[in-house]
Amino acid sequence: KAPEKMLTKELCNKRKPQPAVFIPVDRLPEIQAARLKLPVLGEEQVIMEAVRENMCVVLCGETGSGKTTQIPQFLYEAGYASGDGIIGITEPRRVAAVSMSQRVAMEMNMSTRVVSYQIRYEGNVTSDTKIKFMTDGVLLKEIQKDFLLQKYRVIIIDEAHERSVYTDILIGLLSRIVPLRNKKGRPMKLLIMSATLRVEDFTENKKLFPRPLPVIKVDARQFPVTVHFNRRTPTDDYVGEAFRKICKIHRMLPPGGILVFLTGQAEVHSMCRRLRRAFPFRSNRTGLESDPKDTEEERKWFKKAKQKKMLSLPRINLDNYSTLPVDEGDEDRQAGIGDEEDGSDLDLELGDDPGDEEEKCDPMLPLYVLPLYSLLAPEQQGKVFRPPPAGTRLCVVATNVAETSLTIPGIKYVVDCGRVKKRFYDRVTGVSSFRVTWTSQASANQRAGRAGRTEPGHCYRLYSSAVFSDFQEFSEAEITRRPVDDLVLQMKDLNIEKVVNFPFPTPPSMEALVAAEHLLVSLGALEEPPRVRSAKDMERVRLSCPITPLGRAMAAFPVAPRYAKMLAMGKQQGCLPYVITLVAAMTVREIFEETDRPAASEEENAKMAQRRARLGQMRRLWAGQGASLLLGDLMVMLGAVGACEYAGCTPKFCQENGLRYKAMLEIRQLRGQLTTAVNAVDPEARLYLDAKMAPPTESQVLCLQQIVLAGLGDHLARRVQVEELLDPKWHNGYKTPLLDSPVFIHPNSVLFKTLPDYVVYQEVLETSKMYMRGVSAVQEEWIPQILPRYCHFGPPLEDPPPRFCPDSGRVKCHCKSTFFRVGWPLPAVER
């Protein structure tokens, strides 16, 4: 089938010969052979011609067709990296930026000095770098330094279908940068790559590109994948169902890797554990013989398998599963693999005649189980690309990362739970929660496609076709689902004053933009909007507050505005190193290992309870006593980082003390980076990084509490007093300005028992209750000083004492002196 090409008229009309540039690359023969099998290789000429003739081109091709690894090589060979220009590729995920740069360096037989990567905390870019993989956030920061991106000849925006916020903003910005570069006589090319054909938001968006962009479609050499739906209504125990499905596939179906999609790290781990227990991996096991080292459960399994002759199935016939032995105790025969095959339910191309697949079923291959998720250590992640040990079947238990950014070789069976874990934000209150929801049809089809990379495959969906047809067609762009305060600040710093007019591929809601501007004004990053009289005036000034000097200082820090404010204010009483550490710890995901996940057994449960108790003790120790205890969970973070660095930051120390090793390394790197950033913003600071840092003094702790209050001011909560208790659900609850319902201090917090009158929190996460995370106490009298915008200043009130005004949810307090607004630089906080 000839690939369908949608090229502009120009391209078809003016095919004037171009001087052929060709920079040879010395690849190994086996690499060259593997490359030639990739679909994009067949389209090299079309792609390169389109790039030559157009400023911006869109390339669509299935995952695994070779976009990420090959296009940079085409461009390199065509001379786009010769001279002083380089090729830049952005990825929404850090994992992808790192592993793809290594892969391309390997394919091109070049050093990582030439094919390099840059992610938020690290990179191996040198002055010799010609091809640079980076996260989209990194490129956005570079635009701030050099709007025209002079050093790039080509920018490739990869994985544009993911619609990550930074990708969207980048495309908006590049739609302006590319014509500007052209005008200045140093043309730059933009290549947008997507794994799906849904690119109209970019190509047909007149606000972005006045003329539709040329789209090149690469037909994937995809093998047919047979999709099997469940007939039953889906249950919530999809992990259990997936487990049973994998067991069946492994026992009954011919060799070929299995890829399982689950929603999160905890599920991935529990599944790996269950699978390893069910199919112990011992390379020299003879099959039927039980091993003295087997657990009771394994012995039982082998006994059963022997009775059922499952270990020596003679032949397999794919259209006749129902004659195969079915696991005893499986209440629901409907779940049997064969039963789901239902012609009416097949939505992908049907596989070739199943009868062709007459292979001997290996007698019980050992199962080689590997986890894959984004927080997994890189060397563990790399394992999925290497072939499994001889004579084993690969089973990768993955989260969404395996959907499009990484292509795992040798997968023949996909088990799809149909769910995805997403972070939901409440735009108004800023409360976020992780929720497991159904994925989209597009994602489910992507997942299915992973099965047909090397041969015809099968995808087992743990839900019915009726459920599937209710799925959203596509996942929405991230920008419509999250707060945009950081983006608005970055854009204002780029002197885009009227953010509403920015050419977003999909604009965020007005509500989100207003909330962002409101927060930034209250942080002092934007000027107060002028007072307006009419609605028309209102419309005019809305969302056009200019940035303040403090805002500029904040935008220079690579962290969210709330944290940037803390950094900008940290220059008091020698607090900066602590503020840097706090901000680093707060921006890194999950520094403490998860101890709340469900245990697999009674015994494990007891062990985990013991461990939780020990870790709780450790946290209280880090929090200290008196003033430092009131800094609360933030003091615990400081203590944890200090203690860990003091102990040399070893994996052993982290393991023993419930810290995530990878997070601690990240914190160390981020501290270094933030120290550099602070020195750049304020050369007088002359900071250097003292990793071990001495504990803060008492007055420093008080100062830190105020700095935290200044940054997290809109996350202020007041404890509900006994006399206000109307409803028992408010017991020990806190009132916040924006929420109607109470929020609580999490039992893991060191302030759980202290219950201070006023606290600020890092975020509210909704699990069984609305819990505040990262809680720190604040003193009441600081609030009107530091957060005047959140206070009512009325006539002096003697009695009752200043409190939140229940109607407005604001703090009501009287005004004894003139209060100063917190700005940059701040007069030293007097104590």
Residue 196 found at the interface with ligand ADP (CB under 6 A)? no
Residue nearer to ligand ADP on the CB measure, 62 or 478: 62
Residue 407 found at the interface with ligand ADP (CB under 6 A)? yes
Amino acid at 486: D
Among the listed ranges 59-67, 208-216, 486-494, 619-627, the one in contact with ligand ADP (CB under 6 A) is: 59-67
- CA-based max dimension of the chain: 90
Q: How many residues sit in the footprint of ligand ADP (CB under 6 A)? A: 15
Smallest distance from ligand ADP to CB 57, Å: 15
**Binding partner of residue 572 among ligand ADP, Mg ion, none, CB cut-off 5 to 8 Å per kind:** none
Residue nearer to Mg ion on the CB measure, 167 or 776: 167
Which of 395, 136, 78, 466 lies closest to 247, judged by CA? 395
Residue nearer to ligand ADP on the CB measure, 43 or 357: 43
Among the listed ranges 68-76, 127-135, 490-498, 750-758, the one in contact with ligand ADP (CB under 6 A) is: 68-76
CA-to-CA dists, residue 720 to 353, 489, 596, 717, 768, angstroms = 68, 34, 28, 9, 20
Smallest distance from Mg ion to CB 69, Å: 8
Yes or no: say if 497 and 513 are a contact pair by the CB < 8 Å rule: no
Q: Which of residues 228-267 bind ligand ADP (CB under 6 A)?
A: none
Yes or no: say if 197 and 191 are a contact pair by the CB < 8 Å rule: no
**Binding partner of residue 363 among Mg ion, ligand ADP, none, CB cut-off 5 to 8 Å per kind:** none
Residue nearer to ligand ADP on the CB measure, 68 or 705: 68
Q: Which of residues 27-56 bind ligand ADP (CB under 6 A)?
A: 38
Residue nearer to Mg ion on the CB measure, 68 or 99: 68
Among the listed ranges 65-73, 240-248, 571-579, 717-725, the one in contact with ligand ADP (CB under 6 A) is: 65-73
Residue nearer to ligand ADP on the CB measure, 52 or 386: 386
Residue nearer to ligand ADP on the CB measure, 403 or 633: 403
Residue 387 found at the interface with ligand ADP (CB under 6 A)? no
* 760 beta partners: 716, 776
Yes or no: say if 295 and 195 are a contact pair by the CB < 8 Å rule: no
Half-sphere exposure of 496 (CA within 13 A, CB side): 19
Query: Tokens 């009132």 sit at which residue?
Result: 735
Kindly report whether the peptide bond that precedes residue 72 is cis, defined as omega within 30 degrees of 0.
no
Three-class SS state of 547: strand
Residue nearer to Mg ion on the CB measure, 446 or 572: 446
Among the listed ranges 64-72, 334-342, 411-419, 586-594, the one in contact with ligand ADP (CB under 6 A) is: 64-72
Residue 335 found at the interface with ligand ADP (CB under 6 A)? no
Binding mask 337-376 for ligand ADP (x = CB under 6 A): ----------------------------------------
Smallest distance from ligand ADP to CB 100, Å: 7
Binding mask 63-102 for Mg ion (x = CB under 5 A): -----x----------------------------------
Residue 63 found at the interface with ligand ADP (CB under 6 A)? yes
Among the listed ranges 60-68, 163-171, 567-575, 696-704, the one in contact with ligand ADP (CB under 6 A) is: 60-68
| Tokens encoding 600 | 């697999």
Among the listed ranges 61-69, 332-340, 491-499, 823-831, the one in contact with ligand ADP (CB under 6 A) is: 61-69
Residue 68 found at the interface with ligand ADP (CB under 6 A)? yes
Yes or no: say if 255 and 246 are a contact pair by the CB < 8 Å rule: no
Helix (H) or strand (E) holding 582: helix 576-587
Which of 256, 262, 225 lies closest to 243, judged by CA? 262
Q: Chain centroid to CA 490: how far?
A: 20
Residue 99 found at the interface with ligand ADP (CB under 6 A)? yes
Three-class SS state of 249: helix
Smallest distance from Mg ion to CB 158, Å: 6
Residue 156 found at the interface with ligand ADP (CB under 6 A)? no
Residue nearer to Mg ion on the CB measure, 447 or 562: 447
Q: Which of residues 31-70 bind Mg ion (CB under 5 A)?
A: 68
Cα–Cα distance for residue pair 136/89, rounded to 1 Å: 9
To 10 degrees, what angle do helices 510-522 and 485-493 make?
Answer: 70
Smallest distance from Mg ion to CB 429, Å: 36
Secondary structure of 607-638 in HEC code, one letter for each residue: HHHHHHHHHHHHHHHHHCCCHHHHCCHHHHHH
Cα–Cα distance for residue pair 132/123, rounded to 1 Å: 10
**Binding partner of residue 749 among ligand ADP, Mg ion, none, CB cut-off 5 to 8 Å per kind:** none
One of 48, 50, 56, 64 touching ligand ADP (CB under 6 A): 64
Which of 749, 746, 751, 737 lies closest to 770, judged by CA? 746
Half-sphere exposure of 552 (CA within 13 A, CB side): 11
- Cα torsion angle, 77, 79, 82, 84, sign: negative
Binding mask 114-153 for ligand ADP (x = CB under 6 A): ----------------------------------------
| Tokens encoding 727 | 């409803």
Residue 67 found at the interface with ligand ADP (CB under 6 A)? yes
Residue 167 found at the interface with Mg ion (CB under 5 A)? no
Residue nearer to Mg ion on the CB measure, 68 or 657: 68
Residue 673 found at the interface with ligand ADP (CB under 6 A)? no
Cα–Cα distance for residue pair 247/559, rounded to 1 Å: 45
Residue nearer to Mg ion on the CB measure, 68 or 175: 68
Three-class SS state of 199: coil
Which of 503, 594, 422 lies closest to 169, judged by CA? 503
Q: Phi then psi for 514, rounded to 5 degrees?
A: -65, -45
**Binding partner of residue 351 among ligand ADP, Mg ion, none, CB cut-off 5 to 8 Å per kind:** none
Which of 481, 557, 573 lies closest to 523, judged by CA? 557
Residue 581 found at the interface with ligand ADP (CB under 6 A)? no
| Tokens encoding 317 | 């016939």
Q: Is 626 exposed, middle or buried (0-12, 13-18, 19+ CB in 10 A)?
A: exposed
Amino acid at 180: L
Residue nearer to ligand ADP on the CB measure, 217 or 427: 217
Q: Chain centroid to CA 348: how far?
A: 29
To 10 degrees, what angle do helices 265-278 and 296-307 make?
Answer: 60
Residue 443 found at the interface with ligand ADP (CB under 6 A)? no
List residues binding Mg ion (CB under 5 A).
68
List residues binding ligand ADP (CB under 6 A).
38, 61, 63-70, 99, 103, 385, 407, 409
